[in-house]
Chains A and B, each alone.
Chain A
């Protein structure tokens, strides 16, 4: 075996991201790695490329035990990775990008020998049999050209294992074909390829074997020829069935109606949805399906190109966060530190951030009332803090998230857009947030709930809207729905 891992363990904050992983890949093999969001695929990649250190277990390379403490060590033995977010310097041309992190060729001991470097790159390009523009800056290249550039960079050193992480996410079908040809050529040259993707058809087309991860554990490794898509999907899920009793018919009027919206940047292509008073609508899609972007677009944070948004019967003409809050819609962001909290400010100032004007008369803030309302929220949401004046970043993740909710609830919203509201919070807080959302729905509000944890969506939502590739698809009633059924919708083309 080229690479073998034994009993790999990795924990984050007491939770296993990977547990007892035995994994192997042979020379010249294309090995598919699949699993739901958060199954541990990325963690494994980061361990193999020396980004994360191990908490337990061993890695063997050509039968010898190796320790991978940093990316350079991994590269030296011949492991390279190509990420979804490409690591190219936009202003550098092909040769400059390829030589990032490599020793430059030198003339007379110090002057960079561009001619020699170019020759070496061209040799590798020729060996790969690809066509690539080495003179233009990376910013001007097409997405597949950039991917090829990274592959060339990986092949400059003796690359024995190439890890491709969702390589076709940004490619059109024709562009993907080009990539597949290159992969086939690499394989013929004896390079092993670990192919990580959500796209089932690619896995079945390219790979020799498939390994399935679920919740940080390896479910199985199978020969691709022995299985079919349904078998793999059923291995990825717990086949968990929702227990919620049907609540259809119990909903009130339409609180939010979104029709055919498209974001200006084209990430949201064509999305429509409806949420009613009393309803929690789950939105589920795979990584990169545009879930977060859809919520941001509805909220008015991400510019919208087309489509209509009707909030509680009122057409929203100019959508902006300001307008949304005024009309009773709030967004709980996925990126808590980046977009939901002002880390340098106190709990109190974060809590009243959206509603500060309502505390001011003639511009002067009534601090007593502000404090009183914050204290009320601290106690009703059970926020653990030294007091309203504590800096918000000193709180634990779960309590920070409660402050985000406190801020949202102060504006008394009718529609709550929640993007991964329980991400990186403890189990207790997660439970409290679920209860809170249900309570808000029962009070006659509408909740849109996005989570990459399918099990959670099945636990919480009344209905589930599927989104894929920026477009909304099936709307599933969450009544005895199984994870397998939901995933089958996501993976269908």
Chain B
């Protein structure tokens, strides 16, 4: 068997395992006992801990995007459209994707490392012995929390990004927040906001599933934990782009673009 065949088999095997893991999430997540307390804790940990990073990157992104776009718009004499262009770019694409990537970097890696080290140190076995379904307690709660928290973080990130854009606009000209905001909102359509918001749930789910899957199935030893954290980020980031591509195709087919 040549190297490509081995790699293909390994890829297909991993894809199958990931599909089974995802199916297990739905089966176990739908059955009582529901770990609500742990879910709320995870929502807090995932949401609150990610917010400063998402906020900071969102602000810089909005500011830089505005400053980079201005010369081109000035060249074509449409500088007045700067808030609209930046607003649509942030809400439709850049906000969700960049926030999801930042989220993947922070959350998928921490899930991979945390669950991986719990496995290595037998904490997952200890939970099972203590009358706890570890998959439900550790995986279902984390995946659900990531799915619920990313859309909220994207909304907050977009808002901070738009504030960054407002600052960017005001560096070279003077616009009131009221005018800036109305210009953006008046030009938004259903297709700009709703698909972009819906896809963030899928991004969050992907980050949660990949992070948990890699950690829960990490091989023994510190090297295995490191590899789990690293591959969780890489795989989650790639999956975010693939999902984004699929969402764009679907919205295009539905005439929402």
Chain A complexes with chain B: no
